[in-house]
Amino acid sequence: MKVRHIRLVVTGMLLVAVVLVSGCAKKKPPEPTQAPPVPGETTTPAPAPTPAPPVETPPAPPGVTDAEFSPAFFDVDQSSLNEQGRSALDKNAKILRDHPDAKVEIEGHCDERGTVEYNQALGQRRAEAARDYLVAQGVTADRMTVISYGKDRPFSEGHDEGAWAQNRRAHFRVRS
């Protein structure tokens, strides 16, 4: 009985957290479309763009959640898959085959021991390495997008080998 109660409370808290996080992520101003100015050209300061009204994104397709996907981890300064990475991606390939409508975004991440710009490129390579592996496993490329966060969205905030190992990854998120 008690266990069930705790489970309910935890599930409730998680739901609230998910709603809060997705709520924050929506407050993005619209993308500018006008041609940029060039140096020497006078720019008339225009009023700040008004944020677009929040759009409700439908929840992830039933049956697939981010948590079901396994991250592929990478060795230091490497963007080629190791044994753990291939095995994680084999599992992810199966999930994607079992859910042919599911689409994912693959995030590339790096540890903090590199510069912002280099890590961005390295994260891109990690995400692409995961995508290419899945394409080779028969997942169609248009079901996957890649994005690199470099060292800017670490999973572990620590500054030791354990944290760094956690942060060198290709991470999967279900796209709606």
Burial of residue 155 (number of CB atoms within 10 Å: 0-12, 13-18, 19+): middle
Chain centroid offset of residue 41 CA: 38
Identified binder of another protein from the candidate list 3, 33, 50, 100, rule CB under 8 A: 33
Burial of residue 34 (number of CB atoms within 10 Å: 0-12, 13-18, 19+): exposed
Please, are residues 128 and 146 in contact by the beta-carbon 8 Å criterion? Answer: yes
Q: Which stretch binds another protein (CB under 8 A): 2-10, 63-71, 84-92, 151-159?
A: 151-159
The answer to the question of residue 153 lying near another protein (CB under 8 A) is yes
Identified binder of another protein from the candidate list 2, 4, 5, 28, rule CB under 8 A: 28
Span 68-127, contacts to another protein by CB under 8 A: 77, 113-118, 120-122, 124-125
Identified binder of another protein from the candidate list 3, 5, 32, 101, rule CB under 8 A: 32
The answer to the question of residue 159 lying near another protein (CB under 8 A) is yes
Residue 19 to residue 21: CA distance in whole angstroms:
6
Identified binder of another protein from the candidate list 23, 29, 54, 59, rule CB under 8 A: 29
Q: Which residues of the shown chain bind another protein in the complex (CB under 8 A)?
A: 24-25, 27-29, 31-41, 43, 45-49, 77, 113-118, 120-122, 124-125, 145-149, 152-153, 159
